[in-house]
C-alpha cells in the first residue's frame, strides 16, 4: 500500500538571495558573472557536495581546499560557515578579489565573540564537533578567549561564571541545548547564555518534532557532513521516532517502510529541493 508522505512546512535551503545558504550560493554565482573563469571557492561553500558539484558543472566555479591553490589576482569566495581572519589576510596578500559568502548570522556571532573577548571575558562555545568549519571560524576570531567544547563535554568544564559567557554553534539540536543549559544553570545560576541557534535550525527542528510526534517515522535528506541535517534526524530520534538520514534516494532501505502507513520528510538547510523531490519519488516507488 502506498505510504502517506508528509513534507515538513520548513525544509531545504535557508535564507534568500542576500543571506543563508541561498545567499551564499548567489554570492558565488555573482562572483562568476563578474569575473568569468576566475572564481575559486575555498572549502565546500555549504555542507552538501551536490551543491558544490552543481556550481562546478553549471557555473564553472571550482572548489579548492587550500588558499595556496588559488592563482594570485583571481577571485576567492569564502564559505557560508565563516572563516578565520588569517585567511582573509592571506587572500589580501595574494591580491585576490574577495567575495564573502559567510552567513550574516555567523558574522553576527563573530562580532559578539570579538566584543566579549575585548571585554576580557571567556567564551565557552559549544560546537557539534571541535573540527566543524563553523567552530574553526569562531575560534579564529579570538583564539585566546574562545574555549571550544561539545554538548557532551561542556558540563564537565570548570567555568568561572563571573567572566564567562556560553555561546553555541547555529545548528545544534534545540532539545540537547535546552537540557545542557538546564544542567549548567543548576551548577552556575548566574552564568550568561547567548542564544546561538539560528532561526532556520529552530524552525526546521520544530516542524520535524511535530511530524515525529504525529507519525513516529521520519526521513531527512541531507549530506553526512551537514550538522543541521543530522540534528533534524537527532531531534526526531530524541522524541522516540524512527528516524533516518539519506544523502540520495539510493540510500533508502526498503525494510524501513515495512508496516508503515505514514512518513514525515524534511531536508537540511543545505539540501537542494531537487534532491528532496528525488527521495520522495523513490519512496513512492518503494511503497507502491
Which residues bind to ligand F3S, rule: CB under 6 A?
A: 14-15, 20-21, 80, 103, 105-106, 170-171, 198, 200-201, 228, 269
Is the Cβ of residue 141 or residue 228 nearer to ligand F3S in the bound state? 228
Shortest CB 56 distance to ligand F3S, Å = 20
Tracing cell 537542494 back to the chain, one arrives at 272
Q: How far apart are the first and last CA of the chain?
A: 6
SS3 248: coil
How far is the C-alpha of 200 from the C-alpha of 214, rounded, in Å? 21
Q: HEC profile for 87-141?
A: HHHHHHHCCCEEEECCCHHHHHHHHHHHHHHHCCCEEEEEECCCCCHHHHHHHHH
134 is catalytic: yes
Nearer to ligand F3S (CB atom), residue 24 or residue 243: 24
- Give whole-number Cα distances, 247 to 19, 93, 139, 170, 205, in Å: 24, 38, 29, 21, 18
CA dist., res. 240 & res. 199, Å (int): 24
**Consecutive H or E run containing 275:** helix 273-287
State which residue, 32 or 169, has the beta carbon closest to ligand F3S: 169
Q: How far is the CB of 170 from ligand F3S (least distance, A)?
A: 4
In angstroms, the Cα distances linking 236 to 31, 102, 119, 248, 264 are 38, 29, 39, 19, 10
**CB of 30 vs ligand F3S, minimal distance in Å:** 17
CB of 14 to ligand F3S, least distance (A): 3
Active-site annotation holder among 22, 119, 134, 176: 134
The DSSP symbol for 45 reads: S
Q: How far is the CB of 19 from ligand F3S (least distance, A)?
A: 7
Name which of 128 and 170 has its Cβ closer to ligand F3S. Answer: 170
Q: Pick the closer one to ligand F3S by CB: 21 or 67.
A: 21
User: Count of alpha carbons within 13 Å of 184, Cβ hemisphere only?
Assistant: 27
Residues with catalytic function: 134
Amino acid at each position: 500500500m502506498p505510504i502517506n508522505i508528509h513534507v515538513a512546512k520548513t525544509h531545504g535551503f535557508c535564507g534568500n538571495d542576500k543571506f543563508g545558504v541561498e545567499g551564499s550560493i548567489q554570492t558565488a554565482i555573482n562572483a562568476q558573472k563578474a569575473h568569468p573563469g576566475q572564481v575559486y571557492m575555498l572549502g565546500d561553500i555549504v555542507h552538501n557536495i551536490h551543491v558544490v558539484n552543481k556550481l562546478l558543472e553549471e557555473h564553472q566555479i571550482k572548489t579548492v581546499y587550500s588558499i595556496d591553490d588559488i592563482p594570485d589576482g583571481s577571485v576567492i569566495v569564502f564559505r557560508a560557515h565563516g572563516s578565520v581572519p588569517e585567511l582573509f589576510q592571506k587572500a589580501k596578500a595574494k591580491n585576490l578579489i574577495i567575495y564573502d559568502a559567510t552567513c550574516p548570522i555567523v558574522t553576527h556571532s563573530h562580532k559578539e565573540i570579538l566584543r566579549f573577548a575585548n571585554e576580557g571575558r571567556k567564551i565557552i562555545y559549544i560546537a557539534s564537533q571541535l573540527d566543524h568549519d563553523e567552530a574553526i571560524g569562531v575560534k579564529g576570531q579570538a583564539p585566546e578567549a574562545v574555549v571550544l567544547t561539545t554538548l557532551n563535554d561542556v558540563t564537565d568544564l570548570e567555568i568561572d561564571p563571573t567572566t564567562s559567557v556560553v555561546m553555541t554553534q547555529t545548528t545544534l539540536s534545540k532539545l540537547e541545548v535546552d537540557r545542557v543549559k538546564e544542567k549548567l544553570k543548576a551548577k552556575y545560576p548566574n552564568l550568561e547564555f547567548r542564544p546561538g541557534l539560528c532561526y532556520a535550525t529552530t524552525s526546521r527542528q520544530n516542524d520535524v518534532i511535530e511530524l515525529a510526534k504525529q507519525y513516529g517515522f521520519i526521513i531527512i535528506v541531507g549530506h553526512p557532513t551537514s550538522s543541521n541535517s543530522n540534528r533534524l534526524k537527532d531531534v526526531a530520534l530524541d522524541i522516540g521516532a524512527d528516524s533516518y538520514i539519506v544523502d540520495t534516494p539510493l540510500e533508502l532501505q526498503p525494510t524501513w517502510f515495512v508496516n508503515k502507513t505514514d512518513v514525515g520528510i524534511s531536508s537540511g538547510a543545505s539540501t537542494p529541493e531537487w534532491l528532496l523531490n528525488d527521495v520522495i519519488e523513490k519512496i513512492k516507488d518503494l511503497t507502491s
